[in-house]
């Protein structure tokens, strides 16, 4: 499908959804009016915004799916949780879970089945928490590079978590944990190398931020990092993942520098109905990778949906 990744298609509806506490969230809905295949709720990662994933959304829409989603509270077009609009802050990811649960319930009532959840990075993490803690009635879930553990290499995860807690105790919870980006960039590498091998798709993100500056978000706060470690620990509790009965496809890459490939593989072993695809190539944003990596993964997702969420 030919798609201008820097233009929101005319049939995509952008609107406002209000969380139970009144917080205004920016949502999108890309509907298939005639006999839709079903409905997908897609959630991206920390610092992302709806427009970054228009290409993946277009793929599923072309296959007949309704596709919906929203910008997480504190980013994209859903306002900020910090006085500095470029610092990504959160006191607890439980707030995101409450938002997700409420949005899911409204969305499910408004859309035809089968219903599918797809989440990237933090969106994949929150999708798994929703499955584990709220038990939504969905046919299948796909987690792409899910944040099931933060990759702080070469610092061991327990030490990184201890440093984060110490920083918060010292009153730095609302301070940026580093200068910019998703993690400190190692010497000889770049932010792009952490995200995608596709220069064109990487530049798309910069274009959107330049033309809509309100979408931009920078480094996380120490408070967000603490909240992320606490949320990961919630899924690590004995019995949490073992209770998930939804068929889940986990997709990761061994070269991910932002989330832990080991944690993804460990979660796949714990989930009762899990399938795992671990790529030997590609960076964190697998749905925005070069076509040689991206298209086979999209095809694998299509096959999984055909098997687990067939046409009714």
Q: 153: part of which helix (H) or strand (E)?
A: none
Asked whether the beta carbons of 273 and 247 are under 8 A apart, the reply is yes
What pLDDT sits at residue 34? 81
In this prediction, residue 180 carries a pLDDT of 84
Strand order in 65-70's β-sheet? Answer: 12-18, 24-30, 65-70, 38-43, 115-120, 140-144, 248-253, 274-279
- Over residues 127-141, mean pLDDT: 97
pLDDT, residue 62, reads 95
CB distance 166 to 159 below 8 Å? no
pLDDT at 173 over 90: yes
Instruction: Characterise 266 by phi-psi region: left (phi > 0), alpha (psi -120 to 50), beta (else).
Output: alpha
In a domain, 3, yes or no: no
Residue 140 has pLDDT above 90, yes or no: yes
Tokens linked to 124: 């994949």
224-240 pLDDT tens trace: 999 999 999 999 999 99
Alpha helices for the chain (secondary structure H): 54-62, 94-110, 122-134, 157-169, 191-195, 199-211, 222-236, 261-270, 291-308
H/E segment holding residue 274? strand 274-279
268 located within any domain: yes
241-293 confidence digits (pLDDT tens): 999 999 999 999 999 999 999 999 999 999 999 999 999 999 999 999 999 99
**Which residues in 210-219 are b (16+ Cβ under 10 Å) and which e?**
eeeeebbbbb
Would 178 be classed as within a structural domain? yes
Domain assignment of residue 255, given as a range: 12-307
Q: What is the dihedral of CA 273, 278, 279, 283, to 10 degrees?
A: 100
User: Which of 47-61, 148-162, 179-193, 204-218 is predicted least confidently?
Assistant: 179-193
Pull the structure tokens for residue 92.
């607890």
Does residue 68 register a pLDDT over 90? yes
> Is residue 154 included in any domain, yes or no?
yes
CA–CA dist 226, 232 (Å, integer): 10
Number of domains in the chain: 1
In a domain, 312, yes or no: no
User: What pLDDT, on the 0 to 100 scale, is given for residue 1?
Assistant: 60
Residue 2 lies in a domain: no
1 falls within a domain: no
Please tell me the predicted confidence (pLDDT) of residue 184: 82
Measured CA to CA, the distance from residue 121 to residue 237 in angstroms comes to: 20
Evaluate if residue 296 carries a pLDDT over 80: yes
Domain of residue 154, CATH code: 3.40.50.1820
Tell whether 234 is covered by a domain.
yes
């Amino acid at each position: 499908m030919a798609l201008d990744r820097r233009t929101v298609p005319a049939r995509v509806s952008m609107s406002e959804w209000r969380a139970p506490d009144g917080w205004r969230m920016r949502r999108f809905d890309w509907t298939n009016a005639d006999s839709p295949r079903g409905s997908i709720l897609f959630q991206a990662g920390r610092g992302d915004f709806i427009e970054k994933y228009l290409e993946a959304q277009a793929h599923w829409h072309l296959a007949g799916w309704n596709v919906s989603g929203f910008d997480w509270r504190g980013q994209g077009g859903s306002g900020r949780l910090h006085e500095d609009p470029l610092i990504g802050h959160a006191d607890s990811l439980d707030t995101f879970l409450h938002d997700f649960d409420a949005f899911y319930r409204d969305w499910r009532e408004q859309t035809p089945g089968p219903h599918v959840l797809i989440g990237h990075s933090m969106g994949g993490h929150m999708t798994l928490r929703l499955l584990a803690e709220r038990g939504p009635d969905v046919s299948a879930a796909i987690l792409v590079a899910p944040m099931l553990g933060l990759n702080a290499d070469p610092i061991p995860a327990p030490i990184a978590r201890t440093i984060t807690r110490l920083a918060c105790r010292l009153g730095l919870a609302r301070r940026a944990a580093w200068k910019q980006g998703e993690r400190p960039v190692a010497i000889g590498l770049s932010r792009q190398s952490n995200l995608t091998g596709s220069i064109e798709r990487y530049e798309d993100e910069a274009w959107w931020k330049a033309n809509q500056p309100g979408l931009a978000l920078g480094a996380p706060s120490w408070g967000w990092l603490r909240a992320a470690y606490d949320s990961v620990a919630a899924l690590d509790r004995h019995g949490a993942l073992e209770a998930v009965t939804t068929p889940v496809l986990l997709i990761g890459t061994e070269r991910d520098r932002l989330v832990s490939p080991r944690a993804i593989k460990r979660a796949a072993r714990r989930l009762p109905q899990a399938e795992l695809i671990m790529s030997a190539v590609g960076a964190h944003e697998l749905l925005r990778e070069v076509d040689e990596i991206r298209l086979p993964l999209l095809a694998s997702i299509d096959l999984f949906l055909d098997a687990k969420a067939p046409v009714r």
